[in-house]
C-alpha cells in the first residue's frame, strides 16, 4: 500500500530548477534512498517532504492526506540531520523527549518512551549526558532516537553518516537499517555514497540535475543501469560507443570487433550508434570460462586494490578495466601479455542515452 506519494514535484529557485517532475510512490515500511552527486536535487526533495521547502508544482501526500502546504511542525515527519542538530542545552533524555513534551504527552509516557528509545540505540547510561559529552556516532544515534520518539509517519535522513569516520559509518548504517526494519517505519535516506545506498535500501532513486534518472532495487540499479549517468555514477564501469550490426542476434560492432548483447537492440536498427556499458567484474580471462564474447586483448596495466586486482586491457583500440578477486595462489598476467577475455552477452548493457 502506498504510504508516501510525490506527484509531479518541481522546485524552482529563481531561474534554477532544483527538482523537475519528480514522481514517486513509497510503500509503508519501505526504505528508499535518494542517490546522486551534489546539487542533483536530492536534499531539496527531502526538504520538500519535511516541509522546509514548498514545491513550485506538484503534490505530496502521506496516507492519502495532502501535506504539500502544511507547516513542518504539522506533518509528523521525523528528520535526522547531517550535523546531528541536537539541542546543546538539553541532555540526551531531554532531547529525545522534546517532541513528546511539545505534544503535551503525560510525563510518565514521555519517560517510558525515552527509556525505550535509549534502549533501542544502546545508550541507556547516557540519558543524563549532554550532546558535547558524546562521540559523533553516539550523537547521531540520539538524533535518530529523537526523530523516532514521536512515532513519525515518515523518517527522513539527510546524509546522516557523512560527518562520521568510515568504521562508524558502516556499523551505524547497519544499525539504522535494523531499527527501521524493527519499527517498520517508512524511511527516505539521502546520500551521495553509492555503497551506502546499495547496502541499506529497498529501492534507490538515482538523481541527476534535478531529475530522476532511474528507480529500482539496489540489484537493478547496479546490474542494469538504464542511463549513462547511472552506469557511471553507481559502481565503476566501462562505457564505449558501438554500432548496431544485427538487431535480431543482438550483435554490436566496436571498431570491427563484434560483441553480443542480450537486450536493448529491439527498438534499434542496423547502423544505429549506441553506448554500451560493461562492469569490470563481468570480464574473465578466457582460460577460466568460455562465454558469449571472446575478445583478444593486451594487458596494459595492473593495479592492486586489496581484495580486488584491477587489470586494464586493450581490446582493439578501446581500453577496458576488468576486476578479479585477489587470489594469492593464482598467477596474474604481466603488462604487455597477449590474452583473451570473455564476458556474457547479459554483461553487455545497452544504455538508453
Partner 1 sequence: MSLLSRLRRVPFWSAVWFILGALYFILPLLATFEFSLSMERDVVGFKAYEVAFADKEFLQTFGYSIFLASMTIIMSIILIVPTAYWIRLRLPEARRLVEFITLLPFVIPAIILVFGLIRVYSAPLNVPFTDLTIIQPLTNYKFGTNILIIGGYMVLGLPYMYRSVDTGMRTVDVRTLTEAAQSLGASWYTIVVRVILPNVRTALLSGALLTFAIVVGEVVLASFLGVKAFGPYLFLLGQHRAYEPAALSFTSFLLTWAAMGIIQLVTGGQGQVAGGH
- Looking at residue 282, what DSSP letter applies? G
Q: Give the phi and the psi of residue 291 in degrees, each rounded to 5.
A: -135, -175
As a whole number of angstroms, the distance between CA 335 and CA 311 comes to 9
Q: Where are the beta strands (DSSP E) in 142-250?
A: 154-158, 186-191, 203-208, 211-216, 238-246
- Least separation in angstroms between CB 287 and partner 1: 55
Cell of 38: 551534489
Q: Report DSSP state, residue 210.
A: T
CB of 52 to partner 1, least distance (A): 6
Does 102 engage in binding with partner 1 (CB under 8 A)?
yes
How far CA 321 is from CA of 129, 220, 286, 300, in Å, comes to 51, 21, 15, 10
Q: Give which of 131, 137, 197 is closest to 166, Cα–Cα.
A: 137
Return the residue of 22, 31, 98, 285 that touches partner 1, per CB under 8 A. Answer: 98
Question: Pattern 38-77, binding to partner 1, x per CB under 8 A?
Answer: ------------xxx------------------xxxxxxx
CA dihedral (219, 222, 224, 226) positive or negative? positive
Q: How far is the CB of 99 from partner 1 (least distance, A)?
A: 4
Task: Indicate the residue among 146 and 282 with the shorter CB distance to partner 1.
Answer: 146
Q: Is 351 in the site for partner 1 (CB under 8 A)?
A: no
Q: Is 168 in the site for partner 1 (CB under 8 A)?
A: no
Q: How far is the CB of 182 from partner 1 (least distance, A)?
A: 21
Contact range with partner 1 by CB under 8 A, out of 10-18, 24-32, 129-137, 181-189: 129-137
Helix axes 166-183, 136-149, angle to 10 degrees: 20
Q: Which CB, 73 or 289, lies closer to partner 1? A: 73
In DSSP terms, 299 is beta-bridged to 313
State in angstroms the smallest separation of the CB of 122 from partner 1: 22
Is residue 147 involved in binding partner 1 (CB under 8 A)?
Answer: yes
Instruction: Give the span between the Cα atoms of 210 and 19, in whole angstroms.
Output: 4
Q: Which of 18, 24, 67, 86 binds partner 1 (CB under 8 A)?
A: 86
Q: Tell me the chain's radius of gyration from C-alpha atoms.
A: 24
Q: Residues 3, 11, 126, 146: which binds partner 1 (CB under 8 A)?
A: 146
| Closest separation in Å from C-beta 149 to partner 1 | 9
* Residue 220 phi, psi (nearest 5): -65, -45
The count of chain residues that interact with partner 1, using the rule CB under 8 A, is: 33
105 near partner 1, judged by CB under 8 A: no
What does the alpha-carbon distance between residue 163 and residue 258 come to, in Å, rounded to a whole number?
Answer: 47
Choice from 132, 304, 325, 329 touching partner 1 (CB under 8 A): 132
Residues forming contacts to partner 1 in the complex (CB under 8 A) are 50-52, 71-79, 81, 83-89, 98-99, 102-103, 130-132, 143, 146-147, 150, 156, 163
Amino acid at each position: 500500500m502506498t504510504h508516501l506519494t510525490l506527484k509531479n514535484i518541481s522546485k524552482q529557485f529563481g531561474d534554477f530548477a532544483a527538482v523537475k517532475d519528480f514522481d514517486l510512490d513509497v510503500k509503508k515500511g519501505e526504505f528508499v534512498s535518494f542517490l546522486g552527486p551534489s546539487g542533483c536535487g536530492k536534499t531539496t526533495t527531502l526538504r520538500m517532504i519535511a516541509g522546509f521547502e514548498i514545491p513550485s508544482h506538484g503534490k505530496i501526500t502521506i496516507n492519502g492526506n495532502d501535506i504539500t502546504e502544511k507547516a513542518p511542525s504539522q506533518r509528523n515527519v521525523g528528520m535526522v540531520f547531517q550535523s546531528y542538530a541536537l539541542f546543546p542545552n538539553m541532555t540526551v533524555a531531554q532531547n529525545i523527549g522534546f517532541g513528546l513534551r511539545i505534544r503535551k504527552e503525560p510525563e510518565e509516557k514521555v519517560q517510558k518512551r525515552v527509556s525505550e528509545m535509549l534502549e533501542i540505540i544502546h545508550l541507556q547510561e547516557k540519558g543524563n549526558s549532554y550532546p558535547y559529552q558524546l562521540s559523533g556516532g553516539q550523537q547521531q544515534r540520539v538524533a535518530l532516537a529523537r526523530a523516532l520518539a514521536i512515532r513519525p509517519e515518515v523518517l527522513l535522513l539527510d546524509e546522516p553518516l557523512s560527518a562520521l569516520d568510515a568504521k562508524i559509518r558502516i556499523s551505524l548504517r547497519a544499525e539504522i537499517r535494523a531499527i527501521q526494519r524493527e519499527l517498520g517505519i517508512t524511511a527516505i535516506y539521502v546520500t551521495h555514497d553509492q555503497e551506502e545506498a546499495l547496502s541499506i535500501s529497498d529501492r534507490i532513486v538515482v538523481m541527476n540535475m534535478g531529475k530522476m534518472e532511474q528507480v529500482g532495487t539496489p540489484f537493478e540499479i547496479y546490474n542494469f543501469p538504464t542511463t549513462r549517468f547511472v552506469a557511471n555514477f553507481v559502481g565503476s564501469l566501462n562505457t564505449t560507443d558501438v554500432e548496431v550490426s544485427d538487431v535480431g542476434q543482438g550483435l554490436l560492432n566496436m571498431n570491427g570487433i563484434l560483441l553480443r548483447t542480450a537486450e536493448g537492440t529491439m527498438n534499434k536498427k542496423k547502423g544505429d550508434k549506441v553506448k554500451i556499458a560493461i562492469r569490470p567484474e563481468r570480464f574473465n580471462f578466457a582460460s577460466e570460462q568460455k562465454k558469449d564474447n571472446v575478445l583478444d586483448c593486451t594487458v596494459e596495466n595492473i593495479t592492486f586494490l586489496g581484495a580486488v586486482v584491477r587489470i586494464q586491457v586493450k581490446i582493439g583500440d578501446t581500453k577496458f578495466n576488468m576486476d578479479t578477486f585477489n587470489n594469492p595462489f593464482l598467477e596474474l598476467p604481466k603488462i604487455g601479455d597477449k590474452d583473451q577475455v570473455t564476458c556474457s552477452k547479459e554483461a553487455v548493457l545497452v544504455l538508453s542515452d
